[in-house]
Structure 1
């Protein structure tokens, strides 16, 4: 597998390394040892599948609070999606910044989503199907979300939203909430004193 760190430290795209012959191709899509070698949590306790009938369908942006915080390995197995993650780590220099990655059945790319990241995606095609391996079980009391159209996040979704759950459409805007961790200020740096 080929791991490439995104602009958000700890979040990686994972491409397969194809071995082709007259039968087609073979590739590994997951190996705990390779994930561990890149400092990533390889634990999978649940695998989810979502089917999206219409292009423009939007799911997210979801995350779970500790102790049910989760990592995800997301892959589109049919059609195409734009997968978006938002850094919610208060100590991170990329706090509240996002990365968008196109995952398609053709490119076979996956996105590794670390703990303390919100995750969502928009179906770019009718019939888009997505699988994700998750490191923690779904825990309803720990689930939270960010609003997909929050101007403070500035996410540019490529298509008009055709379908979204009422829950996802109703997450409060960042300006109206006080439940998110606030960024941790960097420690002051000592100024050089001329003598």
Structure 2
């Protein structure tokens, strides 16, 4: 089997940056979005339970920081199909030495990068261009009762968003700050 991803570690254990290796010629290119064998070796343990695609119209919009509480935690493979985002994962694993630390990567249609986000992380992104399309592979199905989120603008997290936040849903703005959680 040929290798279709360059996989790199990030400062947060288990959070990986993938670069899809494009194979092309004069006609264009092909890139693999998912390979169970290669990604299993990188830590993807489950099946693909769900695939979601989003469109975000305006530059500066923030979506997130979403996660599912145990026992419905999920791993995500997140890719940008059109436009460019600053994609962020926050370590929510209470016993981790990097608990509540975040890491961000620029994902774009041009750079062919993805983030492989393990269970126990919150995830969100900010659009750096107009008309951004994102593709998510989830290891577990959405469980409404397990849904939770961090506030993307929580000063305790200190996420350095590249742009001023131009839009955020009322739902995302309504999540409790870390200082308000029990």
Gaps of 5+ in 2: none
Is 1:108 the counterpart of 2:87? The answer is no
Query: Is this contact kept in 2: 1:35–1:42, CA < 8 A?
Result: no
Query: Is this contact kept in 2: 1:60–1:145, CA < 8 A?
Result: yes
Distance 1:13 1:19 in 2: 19
Q: Secondary structure at the match of 2:39?
A: helix
Work out which of the residue numbers 24, 32, 43 in structure 2 matches 1:39: 43
1:51 alignment counterpart: 55
Larger gyration radius, structure 1 or structure 2: 1
Work out which of the residue numbers 76, 91, 98 in structure 1 matches 2:80: 76
Distance 1:33 1:51 in 2: 29
Pairing 1:161-172 to 2, within 5 Å after superposition = 161-172=165-176
Task: Give a deviation string over 1:5-32, Cα, whole Å, max 9, x none.
Answer: 1110101111112222221222222110
Q: Secondary structure at the match of 2:89?
A: strand
TM-score normalised according to structure 1 size: 0.88
Is 1:173 the counterpart of 2:166? The answer is no
TM-score normalised according to structure 2 size: 0.94
RMSD value over aligned CA atoms? 1.0
Work out which of the residue numbers 140, 152, 158 in structure 2 matches 1:154: 158
Distance 2:22 2:83 in 1: 20
- Structure (1/2) with the larger strand percentage: 2
Runs of 4+ in 1 over 6 A off after TM superposition: none
Distance 1:19 1:47 in 2: 24
Distance 1:60 1:163 in 2: 12
2:141 alignment counterpart: 137
Gaps of 5+ in 1: 179-195
Distance 1:38 1:55 in 2: 32
Aligned length: 178
